[in-house]
Amino acid sequence: MKKSQFTTIKPTELNYEKYATEKYDDEIKKVIPGYKKIHQTIYQYTRKINKKTTSHVLDLGCGTGITSAVIRRALPTAYFDLIDFSRQMLSGAKRKLGKNRVRYYLGDLALFKPKIKYDITTTVIGLHHQNDRGKQKIFKMTYNNLNGGGIFIYSDLMTYQNLNTAAYNSARHISHLTKNSKSKKMLTEWAYHHLYLNKLTTVEQQISWLKKTGFKIIKRQDFFNTVLLICRK
């Protein structure tokens, strides 16, 4: 797959493209600060959504479907569209979520053209390889394809405008990674990914783009440099 003008990497450059998705599921929870807590918040938040109407959910950069599985636990009758450009990761999502009420798309999320409107769009640790134009394009596409009152659950690695805060949180991330890696190989792979493949944008800049697009930020949680933003249309 070619790199798009919005993306800084190809799937083949990603460490987890090369190993079993069960290994990814285990490692992502260890390497991303706040990963479990973010999903607890997503569960608690989506559980409160009115279950009388059936929700349509879009998961951008779905990976092995961890976030969609959490939302499905909260909203068992929801329909899901999942997109990822890694065949390997999407195969893990297919095993986890099956075929009932779920559609899968293999492709670049920045180029995805939704055919329906969604009630929830989510992307968890999925946009940090987008350049700034890509992120803004995705925010607009998400807003335009949400129903009124719909929510955008956006969590990712971000940096901060204040360089002391940015340095502190980046150091805490590496320390978290060092503490939680089971081997030198695991630490090397994820540290390489974090230091040389990620394209982080400040949280302040992204909140400003989200607001300019029309979103209201209704919840924010920070875990070092992993941030969860729940936004409403």
Question: In the Cβ-directed half-sphere of 225, how many Cα atoms lie within 13 Å?
Answer: 30
Q: Which two tokens stand for residue 19?
A: 């190993």
Q: Write out the binding residues for ligand SAM, residues 104-143 only, by CB under 6 A.
A: 108-110, 124-126, 129
d(CA 74, CA 40): 11
- In the bound state with ligand SAM, the residue whose beta carbon lies nearer, of 108 and 189, is 108
Q: Which residue has the tokens 């460490």?
A: 15
| C-alpha distance from residue 44 to each of 37, 60, 211 (Å) | 10, 20, 24
d(CA 213, CA 60): 18
If one asks whether residue 157 binds ligand SAM (CB under 6 A), the answer comes out as: no
If one asks whether residue 86 binds ligand SAM (CB under 6 A), the answer comes out as: yes
If one asks whether residue 33 binds ligand SAM (CB under 6 A), the answer comes out as: no
- In the bound state with ligand SAM, the residue whose beta carbon lies nearer, of 28 and 49, is 28
If one asks whether residue 201 binds ligand SAM (CB under 6 A), the answer comes out as: no
- In the bound state with ligand SAM, the residue whose beta carbon lies nearer, of 70 and 203, is 70
Binding residues for ligand SAM, per CB under 6 A?
Answer: 7, 11, 14, 28, 61-63, 66-67, 84-86, 89, 108-110, 124-126, 129
